[in-house]
Chain A
Amino acid sequence: MAHVILDSVRKTYPNGYKAVHGADFNISDGEFIVLVGPSGCGKSTLLRMIAGLEDVTDGEIIIGDTVVNDVDPARRDIAMVFQNYALYPHMTVRQNMAYGLKNQRMSKDAIAERITEAAKTLRLEEFLERKPGQLSGGQRQRVAMGRAIVRNPKVFLFDEPLSNLDAKLRTQLRAELKALHKRLSGTFVYVTHDQVEAMSLADRIIIMSAGQVEQIGTPMDLYLQPASRFVADFIGSPSMNMLQGTIGADGHTVDMGNESTLRFAAPIDAQPGTKVDVGIRPEHLQATSSSAAQFGLTVDFIEQLGADTVVHGKLTGQTDPLTLRLTGVHSIATGESFSLHSALENIHLFDSATGKRLN
């Protein structure tokens, strides 16, 4: 078990492509960190640099108390679980798990003991003598996790381990992974593009975009106080509504056009006249009487999900899309209108030009 420190880590590929523009963060001992972002944002590159599979162009990576930039992957005391499992197809499950330990010159008895224990944890006992080709996707991913567990490493690295599995299995393995983390109390670094996975697993999320770290925080930090329009848009499903507004003359109001104005208690950190994006999550909008209305919605279509009803429409009299999420089952017709209201603390303001949070 160990902490991991990234000190202004950069990655530039030989062809000049800058994959990571400078990542600075500390991962505490025993923390479950999820790196999340759209594809090509540099999250996998970052993970592979921690693993030692990619060279670090600039900066330092520290695992425990050692700078590992020039340390061989096999000597970093890490274990990695890959998206496509990366099991050795010519070895049995037992041999797959034993391979790394054998190379550490561990005794046969100790290896057998560790495999027995890991197999028990992951319910793999009956598959130990099989080859990966005879296992299902979920079983293979468990073997890959087993191969990581038996090494008892300082840091566990996961590179989108659940992406190749179907939705139901994914949910199941997600829960197992969470339980595993609790059991092992190891340091986990987990890469995914799936924000639901990130939200449900992470102690802290590092959200990345185009090689930059956008925000680091607990899942609820990211949900309640997104630092930028990108984070606001990425976290939450359906994603946050973004409406256009302008900062009013006294610095406390946002003019939404259509004669509606939002008045905030605290002054907004921007010049009057600045264009802003007003972000409101679909679940934070409530139907209200027309006198208290901040927004009007004209319905285009609805999605009935059972537990929720998602209403898609447009801001009345405008073309901006607006989504509303209601709990329970509702029957709503196309063309129907709603008067909507949201508590001010659930309204997020972002500078239209820079995307930075303003309130």
Chain B
Amino acid sequence: MKKVQFSRPLFPYLLLVPQLSIIMIFFYWPAAEAIRASFYLEDPFGFGSTFVGLDNYRDTLSGSEYGRVAWFTLIFTTLVAFFSLAIALLLAVKADTVLRGARSYRVALMWVYAIAPPVAGLMAILLFDQRLGPFTHMAQFFGWDFTLGVNYWDTATAMVIVSVWKQIPINFIFFLAGLQSIPRSVREAALIDNPNGLSRFFSVTFPLLAPTGFFLLIINITYALFDTFGVVDLIHKGEPGNNPVTLVYKVFLDGFRGGDLGGSSAQSVILMVLVLILTVVQFRFMERRVHYN
């Protein structure tokens, strides 16, 4: 890294101001506000607030609803992260070996990334619609009475499918780049050393993709936990009722639909702590087992 000397000592700070102000306004300030609000009982119409200490946390964590949502979020995140990584890896490995028309294949696999989440949700609603949806018809053909928005697990299935579909392209791009950064000669050496393609993949290619995979795992867990809000919202069509929701969606429901700003703030704070723990755990324990070149 090159060291630059500034003649005026305040100048570098001035250069940092735009970045810092964005972080301040959009992260630190709301975070601090959430922590503050989690200790108060807020009037839903803004006519004042009462300090209640840890009551909001106690209410949240003791409610059976919260446990159920947390449990669902765990299952949802696991499924979304696993399938979007596994399918993307499979596609990347296959696309990597294509010689003719490689570019068109890659574009075809990547373009989903350019679709905005609300549009993706809308497409999902059409796809899974109870009367019109092709997916519903196909499910019925196989004897599965698929009812989006009515059956808890059917709705969950749709949520997982759409979220996975939306996340595959970015994973694909990273995996493909990762595959292409493995030196050709190393793969050729493996070709000479091992006649079995599958075993070759798991003993040579996969370990060398580990840095990419580790990075993507974090990205995907974060995505499934937080960025699927739009997909969840559209699939519920604003009527969550008895349908599955994730923890992030519950923050929104309780705060803005239920008017319980204090409780929802407490939930946000719990999520913040969860993310912090998750990040520390991932970096501490998993990075050690990953080979970096």
Say whether A and B bind each other: yes
A83→B188 CA distance, assembly (Å): 12
Interface readout for A39-74 with B: 1 if CB under 8 Å, 0 if not? 000000000000111000000000000000000111
| Complex contact A74–B185 (CB within 8 A) | no
Known: A89-B208, A89-B291, A90-B208. A100 touches B192 (CB 8 A): yes
Known: A89-B208, A89-B291, A90-B208. A103 touches B186 (CB 8 A): no
Can you sample 14 A-B contacts with CB below 8 Å? A14-B100, A53-B188, A53-B192, A74-B193, A82-B185, A83-B185, A84-B183, A86-B185, A86-B189, A87-B186, A88-B190, A88-B204, A100-B192, A100-B193
A297 at the interface (CB under 8 A from B): no
Query: Is the C-beta of A80 less than 8 angstroms from some C-beta in chain B?
Result: yes
Contact partner of B186 among A72, A86, A100, A133, CB < 8 A?
Answer: A86
A64 CB → nearest B CB, Å: 17
A229 and B85 CA atoms in complex are apart in Å by: 59
B99 touches A79 (CB 8 A): no
Q: Which of A's residues lie within 8 Å of B, judged by CB?
A: 14, 51-53, 72-75, 78-80, 82-90, 99-100, 103, 133, 147
A52 cross-chain contacts in B, Cβ below 8 A = 191-192
Shortest Cβ gap from A125 to chain B (Å):
22
Distance to closest chain A CB from B293 (angstroms):
6
Is B194 in contact with chain A by the CB < 8 A criterion? yes
Q: Which residues of A contact B204 (CB under 8 A)?
A: 88
Complex: how many Å from CA A78 to CA B189? 11
Decide if B191 touches A74 in the complex (CB within 8 Å): yes
A103 interface neighbour in B100, B188, B189, B199, Cβ under 8 Å: B199
Interface residue tally for chain B (C-beta within 8 Å): 22
In the complex, which residues 164-196 of chain B have their Cβ closer than 8 Å to any Cβ of chain A?
A: 183, 185-186, 188-196
Contact of A82 (CB < 8 Å), options: B188, B194, B199, B207: B188
Q: Separation in Å of the A85 CB from the closest CB of chain B?
A: 8
B188 touches A90 (CB 8 A): no
Which one of B99, B188, B196 has the highest number of Cβ atoms from chain A below 10 Å of its Cβ?
A: B188
> Which residues of A sit under 8 angstroms from B99, Cβ to Cβ?
14
Q: Complex Cα distance A342/B183, Å? A: 51
- Minimal beta-carbon separation of B260 from chain A (angstroms): 51
Q: What's the minimum C-beta distance from B208 to chain A, rounded to whole angstroms?
A: 6
6 extra A-B contacts, CB within 8 A, seeds A51-B188, A89-B293:
A74-B192, A74-B194, A86-B186, A89-B208, A90-B208, A147-B189
Is B203's CB within 8 Å of the partner chain A? Answer: yes
CA–CA, A82 and B188, complex, Å: 9
CA of A74 to CA of B293 in the docked complex: distance in angstroms?
A: 26
Bound CA–CA A14/B100 (angstroms): 10
- Inter-chain contact B203/A99, CB cutoff 8 Å: yes
Q: Which residue of B lies closest to A89 (CB)?
A: B293
Query: Which of B188, B189, B208, B291 is the most central at the interface, judged by chain A CB atoms within 10 Å of its CB?
Result: B189
